[in-house]
Every structure is written in C-alpha cells, then in structure tokens.
C-alpha cells in the first residue's frame, strides 16, 4: 500500500494505482478531469493532458519534486508522494490552456449536438475554461463520413482522445478503424471508406467523450435532459445485457451501457441490445439509473422521489407541487 497526500488530503491506495484513481478514492471536485483516460481500456490515457498535476514530492524515499507536470492518469503513486491539483495555480493555468487548445478544433455546436448534456468537454470547459478564445485562424473541418447505418462519425468534433480506437482494438476481433494522418491533420477513420461492422461496434459511441460518434437511431430525437434513464436487463447470449434505457414518455429513445460516476462503461453491450431492443417489453426494468455527474440530467432530480422516499419530504414546496402535477414515470408500462 502507498500513502499519498493529494491536495492536503491523505489517502492510502494499493501499489500501482495511478494518481488519478487515488484522487477518485477521495472523490468530489478535486478529482482531475480526464478526457482520454478510460479505466476499462488498456493503454488509454496520457494524451489529452487535461489531468496534469504537480508532484511536489516524488516519494518518502526521494522527496524531490518532479520537474514537469505529470499526467495523473498514467503515473503510478509512490509511498509518500505529495500531489497538488486544485491547490496549484500552475496546474489550473495549464488546464485553461488545454481547454483553449481542445476548443480550437472542436466546434461549439452544442445546441445541435447529440452529446450536449453528457459531453465531457462541455463539463471540462465549464469548470476550467475561459469565455473567449485567442484563436483567429481557420479551423479544421471535415466532410461527413458514412461509416454505416448505426453510427454517425462527425470528425469535425473529434478531439482525438483515441478511446474509440482502443475500444475497437480491445473488445472486438475486427479492427476496422483507427487514426489516419498525423498532427492536427490526424483523423479517426475507417481505412478505405468502410463501415464499422461488428457485434460490439456501438460501444465506440459510449466511450466518445464528445459528439464525434453518435447513435444514428437516437440522433435528433430528443435532448438528453428530456429523457429519463432507467436501469434494465435482458437475457442476452452475446453480452451481459445490463443497460440503461433512456425514456421519453413511454418510448425508449436509446439504449446505452451502464456507466459509473466518471462516465466509464461498467460492461460493454452488444449491438442487438443497443440498437434493436427498443420496446419496454424486451427488458426487465430494475429502476431509475443513478446519474450524478452530468449536471444537466441530474438537475431534474428525477431519481429522488423513487429512490429515497424520505428525501421527498425535504424537497422544496415548489418541487413537490411540480411532482404532483407530473408524477414519476410508471415503469414497465
């Protein structure tokens, strides 16, 4: 076990844990943002540089500070390490710069983007960015690329986090897409205009932190904050069948894998569950899904009346009146 001090808070974690995951054990707003790191994907992390932190002391044995900021998602902890994140002005300054860099070639088309409301870059920019940019040059744009009937690739929005590439490499037999070109001309693409075609291809949609890869069966049907997430499962021969159904009224608008509080998929799901099972009768409903990070969705306090009845009494009178007017969804109907 290694004991580290993260922003003045001491935490003990198993050897080999990364600084980011140590911070996640503390939780809350001191956890560094991560755009490219994704726990289930081996080799991910270290690319977006959003999670840079300052190591003020390397370890108890060698207390010298690390000369440069380090990517917390790929740097393992050492016993006695002292890490500064929100307490270090240099780190916060760099983070501002990273937001500015990422937004150079990511259009602010949130009003028409399907990822709005659950976009990691939106959250990152809100928490660490500034309201203006100093970039005046022409921005990178791409022609739309058709990569099949299920997934829409909007390369213009891509921030090249490589998550979808790792997903394609690691959870399916057929690697059909990757990164082409280099520098700011790099792009995600299928090698010779091709479709992404395998049973688990839909997972690239879930791992995309922005709106570069979206679900063609859901596109433009609703804003995410007008839908209600519900945990459900089915007996699936290909995957675990544990999913979240996103309801609008009684209609299932889309199906996604279940994610943890950091937006990381817990279990990959197959395309049949994701794209084909859109009837409530296809599923066994478990109850409302817990959403605690994507602020726009959780702002509705949708889950509270169902999950914890005692809390309902503490709700403001106005919310209680709203609830009486619009009672919680009857599940399974």
Partner 1 sequence: MGRKLLTEHINVEGIDTLEVYRKHGGYRSVEKALKTMTPDEVVEEVKKSGLRGRGGAGFPTGMKWSFLAKPEGVPRYLVCNADESEPGTFKDRQLMSKLPHLLIEGMITSSYALGANTSYIYIRGELLYVLRILEKAIAEAYAAGFLGKNILGSGYDLDLHVHPGGGAYICGEETALLESLEGKRGNPRNKPPFPAVQGLYARPTVVNNVESIAAVPVIVNEGGDEYAKIGVGRSTGTKLISACGHLNKPGIYEIELGLPVEEFIYSDEYCGGIWKGRDLKAVVAGGSSVPILPKELILKTAAGENRLMTYESLSDGGFVTGTMLGSGGFIAMDETTCIVRNTWNFSRFYHHESCGQCSPCREGTGWMEKVLHRLEHGHGHMEDIDLLVSVAKQIEGNTICPLGEAAAWPVAAAVRHFRHEFEWHVTHAKEAAQPGAVYRAGTVLV
Exactly one of 31, 48, 125, 168 binds partner 1 (CB under 8 A); that residue is 48
The two three-digit tokens of residue 276, written as one number: 């084909």
80 in Cβ contact with 13 (< 8 Å): no
Choice between 182 and 330, CB closer to partner 1: 182
* CA dist 239 → 216, 267, 268, 273 (Å): 21, 8, 7, 8
Near partner 1 in 199-218, by CB under 8 A: none
Under a CB-based contact definition with an 8 Å cutoff, are residues 257 and 203 in contact?
Answer: yes
Considering the complex, state which of residue 61 and residue 68 has its C-beta at the smaller distance from partner 1. Answer: 68
The mark string for 223-262 relative to partner 1 (x by CB under 8 A, - otherwise) is ----------------------------------------
Nearer to partner 1, 209 or 288 (CB): 209
115 to each of 65, 271, 287, how far by Cα in Å?
Answer: 39, 19, 24
Place of tokens 């500070």: 65
Residue 168 contacts residue 177 (beta carbons within 8 Å): yes
Return d(Cα 253, Cα 55) in angstroms, integer.
45
**Which of 45, 211 has the CB closer to partner 1?**
45
> For residues 173 and 15, what is the distance between their CA atoms, to the nearest angstrom?
32
CA 287 to chain centre: 22
Smallest gap, in angstroms, from Cβ of residue 144 to partner 1?
A: 21
Residue with structure tokens 């580290």? Answer: 4
Q: Which member of 19, 83, 94, 253 binds partner 1 (CB under 8 A)?
A: 94
Pairwise CA distance, residues 239 & 199, whole Å: 10
Q: Does 134 bind partner 1 (CB under 8 A)?
A: yes
Q: How far apart are CA 278 and CA 282, in angstroms?
A: 7
Is 52 an interacting residue with respect to partner 1 (CB under 8 A)? Answer: yes
- What is the nearest approach in angstroms of partner 1 to the Cβ of residue 141? 14
Work out which of 23, 125, 159, 265 binds partner 1, going by CB under 8 A: 159
User: Exactly one of 182, 237, 326, 333 binds partner 1 (CB under 8 A); which one?
Assistant: 182
Residue closest to 20 by CA, chosen among 67, 80, 69, 85: 85
287 in helix, strand or coil? strand
65 binds partner 1 (CB under 8 A): no
Give yes or no for residue 63 binding partner 1 (CB under 8 A). Answer: no
- Interacting stretch for partner 1, rule CB under 8 A, among 96-104, 188-196, 245-253, 325-333? 96-104
Q: Applying CB under 8 A, does 183 fall inside the site for partner 1?
A: yes
- In 221-298, which ranges are continuous DSSP H helix? 271, 295-298
Whichever of 94 and 232 has its CB closer to partner 1, that residue is 94
Out of 8, 89, 181, 332, the residue judged to bind partner 1 by CB under 8 A: 181
Task: Check binding of 147 to partner 1 (CB under 8 A).
Answer: no
Q: Which tokens is 186 given? A: 């790099």
CB 209, min distance to partner 1, A: 12
Largest CA distance in the chain: 63
Of the pair 53, 230, the CB lying nearest partner 1 is at 53
Stretch that binds partner 1, among 92-100, 201-209, 225-233, 303-311 (CB under 8 A): 92-100
Q: Is 49 in the site for partner 1 (CB under 8 A)?
A: yes
Under 8 Å between Cβ of 13 and 2: yes
Binding site for partner 1 (CB under 8 A): 45-50, 52, 68-69, 71, 74-76, 94, 97-98, 100-102, 104-105, 134-135, 137, 159-160, 162, 178-179, 181-186
């Amino acid at each position: 076990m290694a004991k580290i001090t993260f922003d003045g808070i001491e935490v003990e974690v198993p050897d080999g844990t990364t600084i980011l995951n140590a911070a996640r054990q503390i939780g809350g707003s001191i956890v560094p943002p991560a755009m490219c790191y994704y726990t289930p994907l081996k080799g991910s992390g270290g690319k977006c540089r959003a999670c840079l932190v300052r190591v003020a002391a390397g370890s108890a044995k060698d207390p010298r500070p690390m000369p440069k900021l380090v990517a917390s998602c790929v740097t393992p902890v050492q016993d006695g390490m002292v890490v500064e994140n929100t307490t270090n002005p240099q780190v916060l300054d760099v983070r501002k710069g990273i937001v500015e860099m990422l937004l150079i070639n990511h259009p602010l088309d949130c009003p028409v983007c399907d990822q709005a409301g659950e976009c990691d870059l939106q959250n990152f920019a809100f928490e660490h960015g500034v309201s203006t940019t100093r970039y005046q040059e022409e921005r990178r744009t791409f022609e739309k690329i058709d990569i099949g009937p299920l997934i829409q690739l909007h390369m213009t929005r891509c921030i090249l986090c490589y998550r979808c590439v790792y997903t394609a490499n690691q959870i399916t037999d057929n690697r059909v897409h990757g990164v082409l070109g280099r520098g700011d001309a790099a792009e995600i693409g299928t090698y010779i205009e091709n479709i992404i075609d395998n049973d688990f291809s839909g997972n690239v949609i879930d791992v995309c932190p922005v709106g570069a890869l979206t679900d063609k069966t859901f596109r433009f049907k609703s804003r995410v904050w007008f839908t209600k997430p519900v945990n459900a499962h089915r007996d699936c021969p290909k995957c675990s069948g544990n999913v979240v159904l996103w309801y609008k009224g009684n209609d299932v608008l889309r199906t996604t894998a279940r994610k943890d509080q950091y937006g990381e998929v817990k279990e990959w799901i197959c395309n049949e569950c994701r794209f084909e099972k859109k009837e409530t009768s296809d599923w066994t409903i478990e109850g409302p899904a817990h959403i605690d990070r994507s602020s726009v969705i959780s702002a509705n306090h949708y889950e509270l009346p169902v999950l914890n009845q005692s809390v309902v009494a503490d709700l403001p009178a106005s919310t209680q009146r709203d609830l009486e007017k619009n009672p919680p969804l009857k599940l399974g109907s």
